């Protein structure tokens, strides 16, 4: 475990045990106004002060800077950066390292492998920012799958479609080189290239053209990404990992994935920046109005997130929110198990993926992971957790 302060790692420690012990936590820290305490604990040993610049490590792991909360790093990623951390005075217990297979050599790619690969794309670092060639290209290929197109494309088509995306959404100072992701995405283990052999330098566009090269998502990756849940999770993950600071609505719209930036699938209301955004008239399929009334009555208009009831002159006001949007692109069901009763503010925050509901019903802020509330649930309201998982996927919380 590394401790972070002001862009430096200032201490390291070894995690000896993970504990869940509410009485102990209560004894040490007491409880807050909601009777909550810090009951999930870590026992640390070998705490040593260090002083290491955090930037190269966080960038290499594509973790946003500054680091804001507890962030877990997988063992194999940690190993890549171990040499940057000063060794302890007593030798670290060495774990025999297995010969790590190159991702490209994986015989079959599993779901976890896919998400791990998506989260740790090797990107060029230019001016302290990773270039976006690879994530843009992957998003484009996921868009193709979503539209029912084939996974492999020839170089000319690839160039014609991907180059304008790189120009518009790449880092301002990075060159438009579609041949780079076409060729180098293979190292992610998610991509295959046909017609050209070799591992070396990037072939020139002319070489790719004369070889009639084709490229696209690997078979296994494509099979996983054709499933709606995995697709939502992959898009959410790519967006939160690589596109935090660009107009995701227009990027997703350009690659045929409009609607994935909100739970409802509707474009953001009221000004999103892009002047050329099309005007969308509501194309929502008919909702069952009785369900809407039912859920509002069940909660007596109290928001399931914050509990507040918006008062009106003669009654109260609340909104029925679908967890997984009905209609394109999410195709969620119009039923009570896919509905929440929310106040207008939390409806917007939920729909625009600023908050999400965790496995244990805690409502968390997506930017920090902080717990804000516990979701209020009526005894007669059975919420389908699969829909919450889909929503978390859109939030980039795989």
Binding residues for Zn ion (CB under 5 A): 303, 305-306, 343, 346
Least separation in angstroms between residue 316's CB and Zn ion is: 12
Closest CA to 262 of 119, 335, 361, 366: 366
The residue of the chain with the least Cβ separation from Zn ion equals: 303
Least separation in angstroms between residue 349's CB and Zn ion is: 8
H or E element in which residue 18 lies:
strand 8-20
Residues in the chain: 398
Least separation in angstroms between residue 46's CB and Zn ion is: 44
Least separation in angstroms between residue 19's CB and Zn ion is: 33
Q: Which is nearer to Zn ion, 8 or 376 (CB)?
A: 376
Q: Which is nearer to Zn ion, 85 or 375 (CB)?
A: 375
Q: Which is nearer to Zn ion, 305 or 323 (CB)?
A: 305
Q: Which is nearer to Zn ion, 162 or 355 (CB)?
A: 355
Q: Which is nearer to Zn ion, 213 or 363 (CB)?
A: 363
Least separation in angstroms between residue 344's CB and Zn ion is: 8
CA distances from 157 to 152, 154, 208, 286 (A): 10, 6, 12, 38
**Beta carbons of 13 and 44 less than 8 angstroms apart:** yes
Exposure string for 156-189, b = 16+ CB within 10 A, e = fewer: eebbebbbebbeebbbeebeebbbbbbbbbbbbb
Q: Which is nearer to Zn ion, 179 or 349 (CB)?
A: 349
Least separation in angstroms between residue 14's CB and Zn ion is: 42
CA distances from 214 to 95, 186, 238 (A): 41, 12, 23
Bridging pattern class, strands 214-217 and 152-154:
antiparallel
Q: DSSP state, 204?
A: P
């Amino acid at each position: 475990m590394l401790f972070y302060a002001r862009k430096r790692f200032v201490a390291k420690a070894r995690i000896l045990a993970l504990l869940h012990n509410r009485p102990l936590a209560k004894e040490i820290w007491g409880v807050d106004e909601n009777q909550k305490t810090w009951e999930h604990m870590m026992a640390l040993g070998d705490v040593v002060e260090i002083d290491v610049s955090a930037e190269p490590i966080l960038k290499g792991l594509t973790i946003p800077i500054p680091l804001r909360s507890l962030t877990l790093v997988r063992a194999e990623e940690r190993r890549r950066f171990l040499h940057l951390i000063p060794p302890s005075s007593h030798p670290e217990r060495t774990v025999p390292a297995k010969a790590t297979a190159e991702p490209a050599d994986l015989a079959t790619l599993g779901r976890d492998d896919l998400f791990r690969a998506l989260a740790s794309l090797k990107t060029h670092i230019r001016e302290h920012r990773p270039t976006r060639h690879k994530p843009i290209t992957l998003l484009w290929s996921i868009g193709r799958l979503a539209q029912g197109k084939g996974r492999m494309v020839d170089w000319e088509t690839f160039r014609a479609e991907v180059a304008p995306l790189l120009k518009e959404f790449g880092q301002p100072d990075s060159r438009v080189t579609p041949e780079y992701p076409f060729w180098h995405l293979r190292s992610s283990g998610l991509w295959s290239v046909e017609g050209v052999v070799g591992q070396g330098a990037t072939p020139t566009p002319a070489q790719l053209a004369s070889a009639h090269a084709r490229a696209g998502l690997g078979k296994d990756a494509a099979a996983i990404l054709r499933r709606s849940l995995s697709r939502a999770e992959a898009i959410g993950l790519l967006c939160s990992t690589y596109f935090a600071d660009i107009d995701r609505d227009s990027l997703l719209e350009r690659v045929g994935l409009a609607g994935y930036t909100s739970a409802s699938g509707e474009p953001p209301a009221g000004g999103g920046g892009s002047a050329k955004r099309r005007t969308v008239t509501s194309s929502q399929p008919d909702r069952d109005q009785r369900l809407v009334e039912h859920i509002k009555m069940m909660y007596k208009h109290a928001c399931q997130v914050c509990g507040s009831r918006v008062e009106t002159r003669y009654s109260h006001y609340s909104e029925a929110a679908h967890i997984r949007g009905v209609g394109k692109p999410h195709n969620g069901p119009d039923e009570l198990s896919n509905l929440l009763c929310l106040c207008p503010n939390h409806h917007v925050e939920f729909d625009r993926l600023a908050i999400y509901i965790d496995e244990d019903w805690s409502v968390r802020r997506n930017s920090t992971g902080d717990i804000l509330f516990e979701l209020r649930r009526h005894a007669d309201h059975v919420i389908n957790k699969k829909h919450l998982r889909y929503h978390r996927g859109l939030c980039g919380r795989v």
